[in-house]
Amino acid sequence: MTRYGIITSYAPSLKTVGQDIAYAFKKAGLKIYFKDYMVSEHEAPNLFQRAIIFITCDPLYAHSWFLLAREYNLLNIPTLIYTTVEGEPKQHLISKWIKQGCYFISNSKFTTKMLKRVGLKVIGMVPHGVNMDMIEFSKKLIPDQKQMIKDKLNKKVIFGTVASGHPRKGLDRLSQAIEIVNSKTKDIGFVIFTNATGKNAFFDVENTLILTRFGKLAREEILSLIGALDFYIQPSLCEGFGLPVLEAQAFGIPVIYPKYEPLTEIAHPKLNYPVSIQDEQYKDLGDGILYLIHEYNPKEMADQILNAYELYTKNRQEYEARKKELIKHAESFDVKKIYLQFLKFWRD
């Protein structure tokens, strides 16, 4: 029986997706071998016969992973590179052999466009899925998370986000939006799950609970924190996919998000709170990617937060109805359905 190698990095966001692919394959009765580090070309032939390498398409970081995929293919281990990117990979960092000998599966229409712009071979697209079983499992932790938030904030309605302090994550814009909201009402609390760098954006901002164990909690703890919110905020200026948007909807939680691809590919178009984009431009932040930055007005984000607050406080019946529809929407992205699409890209 064919064994599938699912190989990725130990970075939390990458590892999560890799684990979900392995989970979906295992649930389908397939044999899998999952590792969150490079499995050398010397070991690989004895461990699996086909492979998926999931890595961000940042040529500065991923070059050695692309080389590993090429080596696997030369060893007759058909290998797909599943990838995401938040802008255009820097052309001068992409070697000719990557364009000729690597085969990419994108995670969004946006990623597809960015890869094709620099001449990479995109043979298909498989969107990220949401692990509905893990969502269900994490629900048992939500009451404790809600109590913790209530003890620390004690506000009528709770909004929150999960984001690192990387400049593209837009925490400075969110901080501005919160300041505007605070000038209108003191009944809204904000939970910011980030790292030490991200914490700096909220210095002296009232009605915020800053949790700085980003990348250190078990997955079910992070999911239960999202599930304990009334609304989720996605403040990022660029994304390759935006999995937390999908995870929030899987709990039935409406999302405030900037209206750009790929977020528009996964956010329900009528049940959430989009924020219009004022401008977009490529920006070099020192990585191997020219990030496609989508600028929005923090005031409009604040207005959407207040609109969501009004729905929650004045029309709870509509809020609960939205929750049910959002869950249905997210279920169409269940990993057990989505990730089996990889199988069609291998030829027997």
* Segment holding 223, helix H or strand E: helix 219-227
Domain 3-129+335-345 indexed as CATH 1.20.120: no
DSSP 238: -
Closest CA to 297 of 282, 275, 280: 275
DSSP 277-334: --EEEEEE-SSSEEEEEEE--HHHHHHHHHHHHHHHHH-HHHHHHHHHHHHHHHHTTB
Q: Would you tell me the crossing angle of helices 12-27 and 243-250 to the nearest 10 degrees? A: 60
The structure tokens listed for 83 are 């990838």
The structure tokens listed for 104 are 């990419």
pTM of the predicted model as reported, rounded to 2 decimal places: 0.95
Per-residue pLDDT tens over the stretch 110-158? 999 999 999 999 999 999 999 999 999 999 999 999 999 999 998 999 9
What is the location of CATH 3.40.50.2000 in the chain? 132-331
Class of domain 132-331: alpha beta
Q: Is the pLDDT of residue 214 over 80?
A: no
CA–CA separation, 294 and 330 (whole Å): 25
Return the residue matching tokens 């009334």: 230
Can you say how many angstroms the Cα of residue 34 is from the centroid of all Cα atoms in its chain? 20
Contact of 198 with 164, CB cutoff 8 Å: yes
- For the stretch 93-96, contacts whose Cβ atoms lie closer than 8 Å and that sit 24 or more positions apart, written own/partner, are 93/59, 93/60, 93/63, 93/288, 94/59, 94/118, 94/119, 94/120, 95/63
Strand 3-8 relative to strand 122-125, pairing = unpaired
What percent of the chain is predicted at pLDDT more than 90?
91
In this prediction, residue 67 has a pLDDT band, given cuts at 50, 70 and 90, of: very high
CB atoms within 10 A of CB 77: 18
**Coil vs helix vs strand at 166:** coil
Per-residue pLDDT tens over the stretch 84-115? 999 999 999 999 999 998 999 999 999 999 99
Contact of 56 with 26, CB cutoff 8 Å: no
pLDDT the model gives residue 244: 96
**Coil vs helix vs strand at 168:** helix
CA–CA separation, 57 and 241 (whole Å): 13
Per-residue pLDDT tens over the stretch 267-288? 999 999 999 999 999 999 989 9
In this prediction, residue 216 has a pLDDT band, given cuts at 50, 70 and 90, of: confident
> What's the residue count for the chain?
348
pLDDT averaged over the chain?
A: 95
